[in-house]
C-alpha cells in the first residue's frame, strides 16, 4: 500500500480540478444572474437549469459502456477539448450579438452534454488515482476544492457580472480549460482500455449488465432516488433564494453571493475535518442520516430568518453537507465494482437528473404563482419527507453501502 495520498497523479488531477472549477464558477452565477435579469421569470430560469440536467438523463447511460471499456483519461481530455471549444465559440458569438435567451438554452444543453459525459469519465477514472486506504482523504480534497473556489469566485463573479462583458468571461474560462488539458495529459493512464466494444450486441450486453447490477441493489436505488430529489430541491430552493434577493428592496445579488460564500467557508472547514478525522465505517450511516435531517429542515426556513442568521445557518449547513457528501462518495465508489463504475455512476447520475428535472419544473412553476419564501418552504417539506421515506425507513439495505470499504488489492 502506498503511504501517501499525494502521488504525482493525484497532485496533477487535483490541480486540473481546481482549474476546471475556476472556469465553471466564473460562468455559473453570471449566466444565472443574466438570464433572470433579462427575463424576470423563475420559470424561464428553471428551463435553463433543466437543460443542464437533461443530458445526464439522455446521454450518460447510453455512452457509459464505451467509457467503461475505453481509456477514461482519453475520454476526459477529449471532452475538455470540446468544452473549451464551445466556450470560445460562445464568447466570440456574444461579442457580436446582444442577449438571446434561446442561444443560452442551446448552449447550455450542448455544453452540458459534454459535461455529463465528462463526469461519467472522470468519476470512473478518479478513484484509480487515489491510493488504496486514502479514499476519505482523497474525496475530502475533491469535495473541498469547489467550496474553496466558490468562496473566492462567488462574490467576485457577481461583481464582475456588473463590470465585465460576459463574452470575455467565456473566453477566460476557455483558456483555463486549455491549461487543464495540458496537465491532464501528464497523468499516468492508470485505468487503461479493456479493448473497446466491437459490436452492437456486445454494447447492449454491457449496457444491460449495468442495469442488472443496479436492479438488485436496493440501497443504491434508495440513495440515488433521495439524491435526485434533494439535489433538485436544493437547486429549486437556490433559485427561489436568488429571485428573492434580486427582487427585495433591502437585499441584492452581491448579498446573495456572500450567502454562498458563508456556505463555502463551512464546506472548506468540513472538508478539512474529513481530511484529518476518519469516520469509522460503522458510524457513517448514522452520521449522514443526521446530516440529511438537519440540512433539509434548516434549508426550508432560511428565507424567513434575518440576514445575519442566514449567513450562520449557511455556514453550518456547508460544513455538515460536505462531510456527508465526502463519506457518501468514498463509500459508494468503494461499493461499486471498479469495472462497472462508468455504467453505475451514469445510472446514478441519470436518476438524480430525472429527479432534479421534475423538481426544477415544479420549483419554477411555484415561483410564478406564490411568494418565493413560501415556495422554498414547501419544497423543504417535500425534502424532509424524502429523507424519511428513502433513507431512514429502509435503513437495513442502505447501511451496507455507507459502510463499504475498498479492497486492498484494487488498482
Is 116 a member of any domain? Answer: yes
Q: Per-residue DSSP letters for 62-124?
A: HHHHHHHHS-HHHHHHHHHHHHHHHHHHHHHHHHHS---HHHHHHHHHHHHHHHHHHHHHHHH
pLDDT of residue 393: 94
Is 240 a member of any domain? Answer: yes
pLDDT of residue 395: 92
Q: Look at the chain and report how many structural domains it folds into.
A: 1
Is 191 a member of any domain? Answer: no
Q: How far apart are CA 145 and CA 268, in angstroms?
A: 8
Is 160 a member of any domain? Answer: yes
Range of the domain at 83: 8-183+203-402
Tell me the CATH number at 54.
1.20.1250.20
Is 409 a member of any domain? Answer: no
Is 109 a member of any domain? Answer: yes
pLDDT of residue 1: 47
Catalogue the long-range contacts made by 328-333 (C-beta closer than 8 Å, 24 or more residues apart). 328/223, 328/288, 328/402, 329/139, 329/142, 329/143, 330/135, 330/136, 330/138, 330/139, 331/284, 331/401, 331/402, 331/403, 331/404, 332/220, 332/223, 332/401, 332/404, 333/123, 333/127, 333/135, 333/139, 333/406
C-alpha cell at 64: 457509459
* Cβ atoms 236, 358 nearer than 8 A: no
Longest dimension (CA), the chain: 62
Is 349 a member of any domain? Answer: yes
pLDDT of residue 190: 58
Is 332 a member of any domain? Answer: yes
Give whole-number Cα distances, 94 to 99, 259, 289, in Å.
8, 29, 45
pLDDT of residue 189: 64
pLDDT in tens, the chain (411 residues): 457 889 999 999 999 999 988 888 777 778 877 888 888 887 787 788 778 777 877 788 888 888 888 888 999 999 999 999 999 999 899 888 878 888 888 988 998 899 888 988 988 888 888 888 888 888 888 888 876 786 677 677 777 777 888 888 899 899 999 999 999 999 986 555 556 666 778 888 888 888 888 888 899 989 988 988 888 888 888 888 888 888 888 888 778 878 877 888 888 898 888 888 888 888 899 999 999 998 888 888 999 999 999 999 999 998 988 888 888 988 888 888 888 888 888 888 788 778 777 877 787 788 888 998 999 999 999 999 999 999 999 999 999 999 888 765 454
pLDDT of residue 374: 92
Amino acid at each position: 500500500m502506498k503511504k501517501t495520498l499525494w502521488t504525482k497523479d493525484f497532485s496533477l488531477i487535483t490541480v486540473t480540478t481546481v482549474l476546471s472549477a475556476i472556469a465553471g464558477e466564473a460562468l455559473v452565477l453570471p449566466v444565472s444572474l443574466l438570464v433572470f435579469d433579462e427575463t424576470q421569470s423563475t420559470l424561464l430560469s428553471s428551463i435553463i437549469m433543466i437543460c443542464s440536467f437533461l443530458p445526464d438523463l439522455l446521454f450518460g447511460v447510453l455512452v457509459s459502456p464505451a467509457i467503461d471499456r475505453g481509456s477514461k483519461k482519453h475520454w476526459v481530455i477529449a471532452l475538455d477539448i470540446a468544452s473549451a471549444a464551445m466556450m470560445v465559440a460562445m464568447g466570440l458569438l456574444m461579442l457580436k450579438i446582444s442577449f438571446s435567451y434561446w442561444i443560452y438554452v442551446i448552449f447550455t444543453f450542448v455544453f452540458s452534454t459534454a459535461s455529463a459525459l465528462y463526469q461519467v469519465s472522470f468519476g470512473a477514472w478518479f478513484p484509480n488515482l487515489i491510493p488504496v486506504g486514502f479514499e476519505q482523504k482523497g474525496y475530502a480534497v475533491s469535495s473541498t476544492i469547489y467550496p474553496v473556489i466558490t468562496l473566492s469566485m462567488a462574490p467576485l463573479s457577481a461583481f464582475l457580472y456588473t463590470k465585465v462583458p460576459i463574452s470575455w468571461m467565456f473566453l477566460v474560462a476557455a483558456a483555463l480549460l486549455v491549461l487543464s488539458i495540458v496537465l491532464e495529459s501528464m497523468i499516468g493512464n492508470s485505468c487503461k482500455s479493456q479493448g473497446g466494444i466491437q459490436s452492437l450486441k456486445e454494447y447492449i450486453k454491457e449496457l444491460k449488465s449495468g442495469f442488472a447490477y443496479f436492479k438488485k441493489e436496493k440501497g443504491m436505488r434508495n440513495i440515488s432516488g433521495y439524491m435526485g430529489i434533494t439535489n433538485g430541491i436544493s437547486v429549486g430552493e437556490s433559485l427561489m433564494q436568488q429571485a428573492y434577493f434580486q427582487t427585495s428592496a433591502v437585499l441584492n445579488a452581491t448579498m446573495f453571493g456572500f450567502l454562498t460564500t458563508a456556505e463555502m467557508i463551512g464546506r472548506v472547514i468540513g472538508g478539512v475535518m474529513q481530511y484529518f478525522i476518519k469516520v469509522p465505517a460503522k458510524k457513517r450511516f448514522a452520521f449522514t442520516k443526521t446530516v440529511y435531517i438537519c440540512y433539509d429542515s434548516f434549508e426550508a426556513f432560511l428565507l424567513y430568518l434575518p440576514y445575519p442568521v442566514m449567513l450562520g445557518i449557511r455556514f453550518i449547513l456547508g460544513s455538515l453537507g460536505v462531510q456527508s457528501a465526502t463519506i457518501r462518495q468514498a463509500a459508494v465508489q468503494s461499493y461499486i465494482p471498479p469495472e462497472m463504475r462508468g455504467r453505475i455512476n451514469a445510472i446514478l447520475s441519470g436518476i438524480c437528473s430525472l429527479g432534479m428535472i421534475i423538481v426544477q419544473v415544479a420549483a419554477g412553476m411555484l415561483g410564478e404563482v406564490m411568494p418565493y419564501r413560501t415556495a422554498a418552504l414547501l419544497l423543504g417539506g417535500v425534502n424532509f419527507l424524502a429523507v424519511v421515506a428513502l433513507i431512514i425507513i429502509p435503513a437495513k439495505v442502505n447501511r451496507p453501502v455507507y459502510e463499504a470499504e475498498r479492497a486492498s488489492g484494487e488498482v
